[in-house]
Amino acid sequence: MTAYPKNITFSKIQYISQGDTAIEQETNINNALQAGADWIQLRWKQGTEDEVLALARRIKQHCLQHSATLIINDYLHIAKTIDAAGVHLGLTDTDIQEARHVLGPHKIIGGTANNISDIQQRITENCDYIGLGPLRFTATKNNLSPILGLTGYQDIVYHLKNNGQNYPPIYAIGGITLDDIVPLQDIGIYGIALSSLITVHPHYIQELKNKLQWIH
């Protein structure tokens, strides 16, 4: 498996932010940081671009205080403006090559995938990591892609390994519970991206790290 080295360590646990308002977003992110989160993906669909920019500037300072990585969801130019660690892009968002041109070779660019075809696309695009999901239904995201289930992850990882294919770190996402962590790790998934679980129970971050020894 290709290491895809950057100057930033790839955490095993990503917190994808939640909150309808900027205050809710900032509160939830701070709670996660204080509980030990070291990788934040700022995702705020309800704000305008100017509002997301203002929030991103504040969140970057919080992340710096906690030595945490900050990734911006969707907003490529906000990631560029505040000098975030990188950006996460959906399948219908900005082209990965354009993002690489805008951000430069040393920034992290993550991409969403739902099936093996998407994975192959992301590998070709040279994404630094892939968010693969959803594992099961989640109300966190509108227009949810088809549910994978543990069998779906198993089939995809088997296909990649059976073909001797190099691929970046794959994160499971979408409706993940504590009971899913060990099976996902056994399948060969690199890490997990959590939203609601950490928003409601930020203390689970340390429990996950300690239980699975996913401390990098």
Q: Could you tell me if residue 185 is inside a domain? A: yes
Average pLDDT over residues 85-100: 94
pLDDT at 70: 98
pLDDT at 3: 38
Q: Could you tell me if residue 51 is inside a domain? A: yes
Beta carbons of 38 and 15 less than 8 angstroms apart: no
pLDDT at 143: 64
Binding site residue list for Mg(2+): 74, 93
Of 5 and 8, the one with more pLDDT: 8
Q: Could you tell me if residue 4 is inside a domain? A: no
pLDDT band (50, 70, 90) for residue 140: low
pLDDT at 146: 84
Average pLDDT over residues 105-127: 96
Binding site residue list: 41-45, 73-74, 93, 112, 138-141, 175
The residues, ordered by sequence, that sit 6+ positions from 97 with a Cβ below 8 Å of its Cβ are 125
Q: Could you tell me if residue 3 is inside a domain? A: no
Count: domains in the chain: 1
Q: Could you tell me if residue 5 is inside a domain? A: no
Tell me the whole-structure pTM to 2 decimals: 0.91
Q: Could you tell me if residue 123 is inside a domain? A: yes
Residue 143: domain span? 13-212
Where do the DSSP E strands lie in the chain? 13-16, 39-42, 69-73, 86-89, 108-113, 129-132, 170-173, 191-194
Q: Is residue 31 scored above 70 in pLDDT?
A: yes
**Among the ranges given (18-27, 134-143, 163-172), the one the predictor scored with the smallest mean pLDDT:** 134-143
pLDDT at 2: 38
Of 10 and 141, the one with more pLDDT: 10
Q: Is residue 212 scored above 70 in pLDDT?
A: no
pLDDT band (50, 70, 90) for residue 144: low
Q: Could you tell me if residue 157 is inside a domain? A: yes
For the chain, give the mean pLDDT: 91
Q: Is residue 103 scored above 70 in pLDDT?
A: yes
31: its two tokens:
């709670």
Which CATH number goes with the domain that contains 25?
Answer: 3.20.20.70
Q: Could you tell me if residue 25 is inside a domain? A: yes
